[in-house]
Chain A
Amino acid sequence: QKEVEQNSGPLSVPEGAIASLNCTYSDRVSQSFFWYRQYSGKSPELIMSIYSNGDKEDGRFTAQLNKASQYVSLLIRDSQPSDSATYLCAVGVRGTSYGKLTFGQGTILTVHP
């Protein structure tokens, strides 16, 4: 089993809909979780970080963390064509002062008008 797995894509949603991206991780003691967005040909950019159970909202983005079930998700409300990108989930590995990050393989999101 991969350490960090994301729901296989690509994911296609209509403009204005909610896009739901999911990520599961295998290390039960992981403490830090991140969502990055990567446009084609560009570098990843951080959009959300979450460290404790529950929801964290930032504008149209909501990150949800459930450590008991070992998953973290990203909801994008009112999806826009500009949200079309690859979304990467990253998990901070225990015992390394969070220096070691493991990324999922990414989920390609397409928002169509």
Chain B
Amino acid sequence: EAQVTQNPRYLITVTGKKLTVTCSQNMNHEYMSWYRQDPGLGLRQIYYSMNVEVTDKGDVPEGYKVSRKEKRNFPLILESPSPNQTSLYFCASGKLAGGSNEQFFGPGTRLTVL
């Protein structure tokens, strides 16, 4: 089954404790991206990757890191989480072709930072 998976799905942590949210896709997509969704603010892009070893900032990259060492994986790293990073996070992947970028989203990770 074609899918984007994220782990963990739910996470409660404390301020300053480094964490990684994993994202994996089995569709051989070049493109992957991370978003956060907050009430009243909609979906905001954190980072995206056009291919292996190619990453770029979205609208809200501060406090996050990413890496793309393999095509299928795109982990999101919070080196020192803070309460304002409490949010619902989505990973997405897409096949770039002819100027299109139709993305498929993972199930989401609900993160709470105390």
Chains A and B form a bound pair: yes
Q: Which residues of A contact B (CB under 8 A)?
A: 31-32, 34, 42-46, 49, 51, 88, 90, 92, 96-106
B2 CB within 8 Å of chain A: no
Chain B residues, CB < 8 A from A99: 31, 33, 48, 50, 56, 96, 101
**How far is A45 from B56 in the complex, measured between Cα atoms in Å?**
23
Minimal Cβ-Cβ distance residue in B for A4: B42
State how many angstroms separate the Cβ of B49 from the closest Cβ of chain A.
8
From A32, A44, A105, contact of B105 by CB (8 A): A44
**Which B residues contact A (CB, under 8 angstroms)?**
31, 33, 35, 40-45, 48, 50, 56, 58-59, 90, 96, 99-108
Q: Please, which residues of chain B bring their CB within 8 A of the CB of A103?
A: 35, 42-45
Q: A99-B48, A99-B56 are in contact. Are A34 and B105 (CB under 8 A)?
A: no
- B21 CB to closest chain A CB (Å) equals 14
- Knowing that A34-B102, A43-B106 touch, tell me 8 more A-B residue pairs with CB under 8 angstroms: A43-B107, A46-B103, A49-B102, A99-B56, A101-B33, A103-B35, A103-B45, A105-B41
Chain B positions within 8 Å of A102 at CB level: 45, 59
**A38 CB to nearest chain B CB (Å):** 9
Within the complex, the shortest CB–CB distance from A30 to chain B, in Å, comes to 11
Contact A45 B99 (CB under 8 A): no
CA distance A43 to B89 in the complex (A): 10
* Chain A residues whose C-beta falls within 8 Å of the C-beta of B59 in the assembled complex: 100, 102
B42 engages A106 (CB within 8 Å): yes
- Say yes or no: A32 contacts B106, CB within 8 Å: no
* Contact B101–A92 (Cβ < 8 Å): yes
Which residues of B have CB within 8 Å of A106? Answer: 42
Hey, which chain B residues are within 8 Å of A32, CB to CB? 99-101
Shortest beta-carbon distance from B5 to chain A in Å: 11
